[in-house]
Amino acid sequence: MKTLSYLLMTTMLFIGCAKNDNPFLEAYTNEYGAPPFDKIKTEHYLPAFEEGMNRHQAEIDAIVENNEAPTFANTIEALEYSSDLLNKVSAVFFNLYSSNSNAEMEKIATEVSPKLSEHNDNLYMNEKLFVRVKTLYDSRSSLGLSAEQNRLLEDYYKGFIRSGAALNPSQKEQLRAINKALGLSEIAFGQNVLTETNAYKKVIDNKADLAGLPEGVIEAAAETATEVGMKGKWVFTTQKASFIPVLQYSENRVLRQELLMAYTQRANLNNANNNKKVINQIMKLRVQKAHLLGFESPAAFILDDTMAKTPQAVYSFLATVWKPAVARAKSEAAALQTLMTAEGKGEKLEAWDWWYYSEKLRKAKYDLDEEQLRPYFKLENVRKGVFDLASKLYGLQFKKLDKMPIYHPDVEVFEVTNADGSLIGVLYTDYFPRESKRAGAWMENITPQYKKEGKNFRPIICNVGNFTKPTAGKPSLLNMDEVETMFHEFGHALHGLLSQCTYPSQSGTNVKRDFVEMPSQIMENWCFEPLVMKSYARHYKTGEVIPDALIEKIQKAGTFNQGFTMTELLSASLLDMDYHTIKDTTVFDVNAFEKASMERYGMIPEIIVRYRSTFFNHIFTTGYSAGYYSYTWAEVLDADAYQSFVETGDIYNKERATAFRKNILEKGDSDDPMKLYRTFRGKDPNPEALLRKRGLL
């Protein structure tokens, strides 16, 4: 069972409906059960939320008022299959709130958050309902339940306990107040980050300041300038697709510094969008909630329901990777400083120099310039490569659907089927940045997979990104990080699409937070394999397959700059843990807290933590609180799992792929994740697989 903030901000889950001509009130008539995005208007949401909550409450009342003794069917399954309308509207609203928002949507989110919080609390603090659940839980060994049913019952019981069902009346009221305030604070945090991201625009009016930048980057900046009414100039933003190429290639050191600082100072400028006070409020509330529920810190509470179980286990794991990562980063920094010193400018390596001199060093060591690769990474070709990989591994087929309703012109829709033509689900892709979309990349459910009354309801999944946009003269040409991100997010999509679970709360990506990244990250292992690259990496002009010589350079440079990459990643994980092991509600200086955290672990000054506190959406809005370590833990699993393919001598090995599909992708949270992994792999994961993959051994 999930907390309200997780339901609000992470639509890998579900909830949705409401009034006369309101499309949420009617059954979706699309053959795939897709929402009629072309008919949904902003004014439909609030009435649909209200009606959805009313209907759900009536369903809960019916369960509670049932005079029959509680059974798994009349209590647990009745709860599990309730709230159709609320699920319906929530899925659409929170998907679009992340990917196509506006001021009206922000107002609705602020208005509906406390209402959903209250509705959630009314469910989990319903004493009579809890009695029915507890009665079943206490007698579970005699109910003859399947493993899947038993896990669902245990999850519901634990969900009630973690939501305050066992608290006394006074404590329950405190928790209700905390939940409402938390929901609003987390929404405010995200809105501040989006506002700050959209507000910054670096205007260049002298082309000489663009020295070193690839022509495609200059062209994109010119088009951005035209879009914002500054035709004839060049505009850069704090979207990664805009400013990262500047860090990599600009000879203008001042410009590099300005753009990196603009990105890292978002919501930290003591203006109306300041998130430092919001962070204090969020952490105060999270500490209070943890204490109410009997835990010493938010991390202790959160991790109790994960594979890791305790903060100590997470810190111990991170330490094993942090030490070799920082050691490698220091040697990388020394190499970059040598390169700078050789230029005779007397400059010291700073954070805004790392990307620029790394590109120079990569060119010198491997004769590889990432801009050489972009022409071979046309977005549509990379996506086709992702689809082809899924076809080779799992027999999936993809057909573009041109007449499906969509919520933005950038969106494309695909039918996904098995080799025999049976429906797997529907995939929406939405890849380009815009002011209405938050930064980053993610996968979301529009509808989940589940089974009911003999029917297997197939999912509708959305992959969202902020990749390099096409220009008037060129299609979208991705960099290596964007290619890897597309493979990653498609891994999440496969986890949702291939699900074969009975119950919606167990299906797809509704797994433990520190397991959810494993099915996505394993896909990254394939993306730069020579065989796979030859399936998608074709020159956008000539159609020429990427040359073997270029592939060889990519392979040789495979572990280049991994000290930087891992140090940046792990520092964010450690910062997250430090926040969530706070045990009191004392007001603190956010910047000082972050600085002390990084100094404690020996973070080198030439690297900035991947997410500064004031824009760390993962841990303050989207459900990764005390969970950012999951990316690294999942990499242990994915590296070890991929090794099982490599060991066969065939990276497309059908037997291994079938085992992965049956034991991981189809199972969702229907069983313990480590048990599922052991069944697939035949043994426990080997942590050395991660260090070997990253070249850190």
> What percent of the chain is predicted at pLDDT more than 70?
97
Q: Is the pLDDT of residue 14 over 60?
A: no
| Token output for 386 | 């992702």
Chain mean pLDDT for the chain:
95
In this predicted structure, what is the pLDDT of residue 686? 87
Question: Can you give the pLDDT at residue 6?
Answer: 36
DSSP string, 635-682: HHHHHHHHHHHHTTT-TT-HHHHHHHIIIIITTTTSS-HHHHHHHHHS
CA 516 to chain centre: 9
Does the model's pTM come out above 0.85? yes
What integer pLDDT is reported at residue 20 of this predicted model?
Answer: 62
Which ranges of 367-479 does DSSP label H, i.e. alpha helix? 370-373, 379-394
Q: How confident is the model at residue 17 (pLDDT cuts 50, 70, 90)?
A: very low
pLDDT at residue number 697? 83
**CA-based nearest residue to 322, from 513, 571, 666:** 571
Q: What share of the chain is helix, strand, coil (3-state, %, to 5)?
A: 60, 5, 35
**pLDDT, tens digit (0-9, with 9 covering 90-100), for 136-170:** 999 999 999 999 999 999 999 999 999 999 999 99
Whether residue 120 has pLDDT greater than 90:
yes
Confidence of residue 687 (pLDDT cuts 50, 70, 90): confident
pLDDT tens digits for 61-103?
A: 999 999 999 999 999 999 999 999 999 999 999 999 999 999 9
Q: Does residue 528 surpass a pLDDT of 50?
A: yes
For 340-378, the pLDDT digits (tens) are 999 999 999 999 999 999 999 999 999 999 999 999 999
Question: In the predicted model, is pLDDT for residue 204 greater than 60?
Answer: yes
* Residue keyed to tokens 């350079």: 553
Domain 375-556+631-693 class? Answer: mainly alpha
Task: Express each pLDDT in 608-643 by its tens digit.
Answer: 999 999 999 999 998 999 999 999 999 999 999 999
- What's the mean pLDDT in 226-231? 96
Nearest in space to 32 (alpha carbons), one of 441, 449, 409, 369: 449
pLDDT reported for residue 13:
30
Domains 4-163 and 375-556+631-693 share a fold: yes
Q: If we measure between CA atoms, which residue out of 22, 556, 597, 2 comes closest to residue 315?
A: 597
Residue 5 confidence (pLDDT) above 60: no
Q: Is the pLDDT of residue 7 over 90?
A: no
C-alpha torsion sign, points 588, 590, 594, 599: negative
Q: Which CATH architecture describes the domain 4-163?
A: Orthogonal Bundle (1.10)
- Terminal CA-CA length for the chain: 39
The residues assigned a catalytic role are: 489
Whole-number percent of the chain with pLDDT over 90:
96
Tell me the domain boundaries of the chain: 4-163, 200-264, 314-374+562-630, 375-556+631-693
